[in-house]
Amino acid sequence: MADGNDPMGAGCHLDAVTVRAALVSLAARRHIIGRVELRHSPGTHAAWGRFLGEPGLDMLAMHRYRVDLTIGITREADDRRLGYSTEYGFDHHFGGLLTTGKGAFSAWVTVLFDGAEVACGETDRAELD
C-alpha cells in the first residue's frame, strides 16, 4: 500500500467507515451543495477523502456550470496533503489514499464553478491507526 493509490483498486473500500464528515456550502449563499467525508480502512491502514453532492449541485452542474472538484486528505504527522482533481459526475468522488499510523488526518474538498472557487470544506481531524 502506498500513498496516492486508488482506495477502490487497493481494496480499502471493503471495510471502510466514515470517521468524520462536514457539510459543504456555497461561500456566498450558505446553500449546502454536498458533504465531504474522511474515510478509513482499518484493515489496510489507509484513509482518503470522499465527496457526495446534493441534488441542488446536480442541477447546477446539468444546467448552469461546469463543476470541478479537488478532493483531498491531509496527514498532519508529516504535513502531507494529497489532492485529486476531477469533473463532478453526480456520484461519490474520492481522492487518493494516505497510509495511516500515528497522527491526525482530515479530508477536504474545493468546488469550482466554471473555474472559479465557490466552496470548500474540511472535516474535523481524527487520529487513525
Q: Domain 12-124's class?
A: mainly beta
Nearest to 7 by CA among 93, 129, 125, 128: 93
Rounded CA separation 110/72 (Å):
9
pLDDT tens figures, 39-53: 999 999 999 999 999
pLDDT of residue 28: 79
The pTM score is 0.94
Spans of all domains in the chain:
12-124
pLDDT tens figures, 68-115: 999 999 999 999 999 999 999 988 999 999 999 888 999 999 999 999
Question: What residue has cell string 480502512?
Answer: 41
SS3 57: helix
Q: Is 40 in contact with 46 (CB distance < 8 Å)?
A: yes
